[in-house]
Amino acid sequence: MHEFSITSQIVRAVLKEAEKRGAKGVLEVHLIIGKLTFLGIEQVKFSYQVLVEDTILNGSKLIIKHRSGKVKCEKCGYEGPIKIEEDPVSHISLPSLTCRKCDSTVTILEGKECIIKGVKLVM
* Residue 56, domain CATH: 3.30.2320.50
pLDDT at 89: 81
> Is there a single domain that holds both residue 12 and residue 64?
yes
Instruction: State how many domains the chain has.
Output: 2
CA 31/CA 33 separation, integer angstroms: 6
> Is there a single domain that holds both residue 50 and residue 96?
no
> Is there a single domain that holds both residue 55 and residue 81?
no
- Sheet with 79-81: list strands edge to edge: 79-81, 70-72, 107-110
Tell me the DSSP string of 51-90.
Answer: HTTTSTTTTPEEEEEEE--EEE-TTT--EEEPEEEEETTT
> Is there a single domain that holds both residue 59 and residue 78?
no
Tell me the chain's radius of gyration from C-alpha atoms: 18
pTM for this prediction: 0.82
Q: What is the pLDDT of residues 32-41, one digit of tens each?
A: 999 889 899 9
> Is there a single domain that holds both residue 76 and residue 38?
no
> Is there a single domain that holds both residue 77 and residue 52?
no
pLDDT at 1: 60
> Is there a single domain that holds both residue 27 and residue 85?
no
> Is there a single domain that holds both residue 90 and residue 63?
no
> Is there a single domain that holds both residue 12 and residue 55?
yes
Place 86 in a pLDDT band, splitting at 50, 70 and 90: confident
Question: Whose CA is closest to 14, among 56, 47, 54, 42?
Answer: 56
Residue-level length of the chain: 123
Containing domain of residue 76, as a range?
A: 70-108
> Is there a single domain that holds both residue 64 and residue 116?
yes
> Is there a single domain that holds both residue 48 and residue 18?
yes
Average pLDDT value for residue range 102-118: 95
13: CB partners within 8 A, 6+ apart: 116
> Is there a single domain that holds both residue 59 and residue 75?
no
